[in-house]
Structure 1
Amino acid sequence: MGTDDCSPVLKLSEVGGAQGDRFKALGQFFEKKYGQPPEFYVRAPGRVNLIGEHIDYCGYSVFPMAVQQDIVMAVRGVSKPTISLANMDPSYADFSCSTEKLSVERPSGSVPWSSYVLCGVLGVQEHCRLAALRGLQVAVSGSIPASSGLSSSSALVCAASLATLHANQVSLSKSEVAGVCAHAERYIGTEGGGMDQAICFLAKKGTAKLIEFNPLRAHDVQLPPGAVFVIANSLAEKNKAASSDYNCRVMECRLATQLLAKSRGLEWSKFRRLGDLQKELKLEFSEMVDMVRTVLHEQPYSKKEICSELGVTEQQLDEITLSENTRHIDQFLPYQRALHVFSEAGRVFAFRSVCESGGEDVLSRMGQLMNESHASCRDQYECSHELLDTICRIAEGVAYGARLTGAGWGGCTVALVPGDRVDEYISKLKTEFYARRPTAEGLDLDTVVFRTEPGDGAAIYM
């Protein structure tokens, strides 16, 4: 499957066109900032998840592809034990710290961009047990819109990890460094799954990927002819590390897992993911859905009720199950979250099957699955946003299907659009959506609504 080779080292001289101009501008910015040219560059792409939302951290497969938008770092190793960071976007402040006793503080509010870089550096140091890190001078150029659901934060972590590995002359396989990055992002408190990091390293131009976890495996899936995807940014921003909404969903899935395990007489505290429970019970997705409907109730569970069901105190539940930033929550919806996860996990494999089956109606069947996914994210998982829903309604009648992509609560949608109607769809969004949004004034709309194709994974350039 080609998942165990290292990220490629490519020739900088072969990067042409607009991307070549961007690398050149970043190099000039670096030299002006640090007084000498960079030693190498790292590129890490963003991603769009075509289907399979909020299920990777439950142990289920996802269906993403890399996009052209990316994070590019210009890097130089230095003997001084210091990490210096600069961003071409002046809204991101410069940052510097010592490499000795490196740590990442968990912020109570918005996460500074430098923390994502430090996550990647620290993840490599701890995984590779590097006693002393080479100092780094880094300049960054990003074309992924922040908090858009296209994984700008994970791309920063991945680029920083790859830069740290190369500067310290350490090699890891793509799958191994993806795992390091998935774990490293938890330094700032995000209880993510691993999809973003996996596709960042394992992506292959021209194909989407069905990614399985434990162990990490990636399967190329050729999209059918005529499949064109258009991404539209709702302009509603949501930083998943800056609130407890994302982690609350993770915990609700964990609570659902433990309540269901307890109902089957299993040692419930050993189970943390719905996927692991399903493997233990050897049941189909439809059977897990039936189990949810039978065992759990639709009304919200209070923390007190969950403790009573599991036979623990609130302090024990905090220690065994809940994350630090979800212990204050008093009501949970494990019924709805579990229904979404099992139905969405089934849709991922249905989507691959449809892609590979062909037939005249293949695109409409893919679109229907995307529509069902969005409805489930909106109604069962409650991670949509009114602006995302508006874009999906505008897509009706033009696109085969549309859905939110990424964590949700803002960010982007992805729509499957007939090739001959892409311009019509983009024009419709510009007039019926962006023209009515004050936040869109002055923006280059071609950067917020655009067609995309599967791109390559992370790479080093020299």
Structure 2
Amino acid sequence: MAEETNNGMKNNYTPVLQLQGSKLRGARVTQLKNHFVIKYKEEPEFFVRVPGRVNLIGEHVDYCGYSVLPMAIQYDIMLAVKPVSVPKLQLTNTDSSHSDFQCDVNSLSIEVKKGVSPPWHSYFLCGLKGVLEVLPQDSVGMLVAVTGNVPLSAGLSSSSALVSAAALAAAHANMLKMTKLEIASLSASSERYIGTQGGGMDQAIAFLGTKGCAKHIQFNPLLSEDVKLPDGAVFVIAHSLAVLNKAKTSDFNCRVAECHLAAQIMAKKRGLSWEKVSSLADLQSAVSASLVEMVDLVKELLHEEPYSKEEICGELEVSEGFLDQLSLSSNTTHISHFKLHQRALHVYQEANRVRAFQEVCQNETVSSLALMKLGELMRESHESLKNLYECSHPNLDKLVYLGEGRALGSRLTGAGWGGCIVALTTKDTVSDYINTLKEKFYKGNPAAVGKDLDSLVFATEPNTGAEIYKLEQ
């Protein structure tokens, strides 16, 4: 398996890496291996590690066709795997709250119940199903043990990391040759089996992450470029203690639908074949305008008051049934009102912030000035996510507020409605910033009782992407 780089060269993708690194990682792998042996009475053949991620800028724009700027973090999902000839999947988790699971790989099904969080194994099945659909032969079975330290429902991509790890394990077990870009795209489409209509950011950074660099990731086609962050930049992740499972509610898919509908109505008003416009980026391409000009177009063509479903049908001259089939997902057809102006405005402005963020990193020679500019872009992003996209949470807003004067900028990261913020600090201020949050947000907070504060607020740096390896003998 090889990665195709932008210059056409190929890098070895699945080397057998010796287990190295911190004692913590060694202890986790030993625990995972022991759990596997106790459960299956056999030794694992290989291990998979897929990191979580934090998105520095570019929220809710990937599924609209726009680029993002995430980095892989040190927290990850790890699998111990042994391929077996019997076409059966057996799953176990080191977390005792997650029940064991097994099924025939040739007849697996992914059950999605409205308003109910999917069981943990469903995310693994998504990645496996994606690989099964492209395999040229019947699949082998697998014995798998899972462990993970990516905080759940925190906006750090724990679910996508599990989907991606499952896809990588299944591909390797079946000797399926794929590039990093191919398996990232497959993992992104596979997660939609769970009902989440996301973009491809989480899976792309999971496979393309580079130690020491953030990644500028573009879509259609999937491309990535290293972005060196300014000297002295330190990013801190802080958990809001509020969580949301994207697959449990319609909040996330509603935003996807609103962006889709906004693009279609604006396309119709500009006399375009609106049925062929599937994203706000498609619309920009069709009208050949800059992002700044697209902001003006939103203000010109979309009113600020929410659009009723009936009004949208009238604008597009279609029946409700046709709209449901073409533009909505199964858990958004019941929604009666949509805020199209606000969502489109956020997307175009946020896409422009990604461009500006990358330009500062590439062109600004004075680190202190660069850090100030990046902090301002992050602050603008949070305000937009809070007011235009309405996906923040009071806990997220409080964390952002508490960081004022101590962080250069902070914003929610991930889907929102809970999860984490990411803050930009410096080597000189990071300790004071973290201690301030511990004192003013976490200590005395009932939701933090019994939890390790260092796992709730911590500094992070860009880490490597997915790996396959064996234990050092």
Match of 1:2 in 2: 5
- Residue 230 of structure 1 is matched in structure 2 by 236
More deviation, 214-223/98-107: 98-107
Displacement of 1:203: 0.5
**Counterpart for residue 123 of structure 1:** 130
Equivalent residues in 2 for 1:133-282 (5 A)? 133-282=139-288
Considering only aligned residues, what root-mean-square deviation do their CA atoms show, in Å? 1.1
Partner in structure 2 of residue 81 of structure 1: 87
Report the equivalent of 1:459. 467
Q: Secondary structure at the match of 1:92?
A: coil
Measure, in 2, the Cα distance between the counterparts of 1:436 and 1:6: 49
For the residues of structure 1 that align with 2:298 and 2:341, how far apart are their CA atoms?
A: 6
Q: Please report how far the alpha carbon of residue 15 of structure 1 lies from its aligned counterpart in structure 2 after TM superposition.
A: 4.6
Offset of residue 16 of structure 1: 4.7
Q: Matches of 2:457 and 2:171 in 1, distance apart?
A: 35
Q: What SS does the aligned partner of 1:351 have?
A: helix
Name the CA distance, whole Å, in 2 between partners of 1:444 and 1:210. Answer: 32
> Where in structure 1 are there 5+ consecutive unaligned residues?
none
Q: Report how far residue 5 of structure 1 moved.
A: 4.3
Residues 227-278 of structure 1 deviation map (CA, whole Å, 9 limit, x = unaligned)? 0000001110100011000000000000000000001101111111000110
- CA deviation map 1:365-424 (0-9, x unaligned): 100000000000000000100000000001100000000000000000000012111111
Residue range with higher mean Cα deviation, 414-423 or 338-347: 414-423
Query: Which of the residues 431, 436, 440 maps onto 1:428?
Result: 436
Deviation at residue 128 of structure 1 after TM alignment: 2.9
Following TM superposition, by how much is the alpha carbon of 1:154 offset from its aligned partner in structure 2, in angstroms? 0.2
* In 1, Cα distance between equivalents of 2:50 and 2:412: 22
Task: For residues 134-179 of structure 1, give each alpha carbon's deviation from its aligned partner in whole angstroms, at most 9, with x where no partner exists.
Answer: 1111101101010000000000001000100111111210000000
In structure 1, what is the Cα distance between the partners aligned to 2:149 and 2:74?
Answer: 9
Aligned residue number for residue 377 of structure 2: 369
Q: How far apart, CA to CA, are the structure 2 residues paired with 1:2 and 1:373? A: 30
- The answer for the alignment partner of 1:309 in structure 2 is 315
Specify the code of the residue in structure 1 equivalent to 2:133.
E
Count, aligned residues: 461
Residue type at the aligned position of 2:378: M
| Paired-residue identity, % | 54
**Structure 2: how far apart are the matches of 1:16 and 1:374?**
34
Instruction: Please report how far the alpha carbon of residue 6 of structure 1 lies from its aligned counterpart in structure 2 after TM superposition.
Output: 5.7
SS at match of 1:346: helix
2:304 is matched by which residue type in structure 1?
E
| Rounded Cα–Cα distance in structure 2 between residues aligned with 1:16 and 1:452 | 15
1:18-71 alpha-carbon deviations (Å, 9 max, x no partner): 111211111011000110110000000000000000000000000000000000
Matches of 1:388 and 1:147, distance apart in 2: 14
Equivalent position of 1:47 in the other structure: 53
Does structure 2 conserve the Cα–Cα contact (< 8 Å) formed by 1:303 and 1:331?
Answer: yes
Structure 2: distance between partners of 1:13 and 1:231: 27
Rounded Cα–Cα distance in structure 2 between residues aligned with 1:13 and 1:257: 48
- Cα distance in 2 for partners of 1:441, 1:337 equals 37
SS in 2 for 1:280: helix
Q: CA deviation at 1:127?
A: 2.4
Match of 2:451 in 1: 443
Secondary structure class of the residue paired with 1:324: coil
SS at match of 2:428: helix
**SS of aligned partner of 2:417:** coil
| TM-aligned CA distance change 1:336 to 1:194, over 3 Å | same
CA distance in 2, matches of 1:33, 1:432: 44
With structure 1 as the length reference, what TM-score do the two structures score?
A: 0.98
In structure 1, what is the Cα distance between the partners aligned to 2:375 and 2:22?
Answer: 35
Distance in 1 between residues matched to 2:183 and 2:113, nearest whole Å: 25
Distance in 2, Cα, partners of 1:11 & 1:178: 21
1:297 is aligned, of 303, 308, 327, to 303
Partner of 2:439, secondary structure, is helix
- With structure 2 as the length reference, what TM-score do the two structures score? 0.96
Specify every segment of 5 or more residues in structure 2 that has no aligned partner in the other structure, as ranges: none
